[in-house]
Structure 1
């Protein structure tokens, strides 16, 4: 079974983006993503134990990009 986790920086206000990504994954792929609040500017999407998408300087993956990347990493 595929496990999807989204860790987001709550103080940075990334929770909305995390919830949007989780809803998009549920709608498009039928996957339930588990949300994990964090800090330090983190925004990471993991499939099983590997990071498949994350916020980097100058880039923040949107929900559509996350769905595409996760669909490519399903086993």
Structure 2
């Protein structure tokens, strides 16, 4: 089973987003997601230690983007695809 970690900036208030994303990944893939608080504006979703998606200037992945990125990293069909 793949290891999924979400690193988030606690001072920035990203914990709620991280928890919501972890819940969505749990529902979609049955994964237990590790939440790792940090600082410096970080918001990264890692699959087996590799960045699947992350916050960047002008971009903050929403739940759908996070689920799609993890699906791609796991080699699973896109959410909603048949």
TM-score w.r.t. structure 2 length? 0.88
| Cα root mean square deviation, aligned | 0.9
Count of residue pairs the alignment pairs up: 75
Deviations 1:22-68 (A, max 9, x none): 00000111111100000000000000010010000000001111011
**Which of structures 1 and 2 has the bigger CA Rg?**
2
Stretches of 4+ aligned residues off by more than 3 angstroms:
none
Q: Any stretches of 5+ residues in structure 2 without a counterpart?
A: 76-82
Provide the secondary structure at the position in 2 that maps to 1:73.
helix
TM-score w.r.t. structure 1 length? 0.96
| 2:23 match | 23
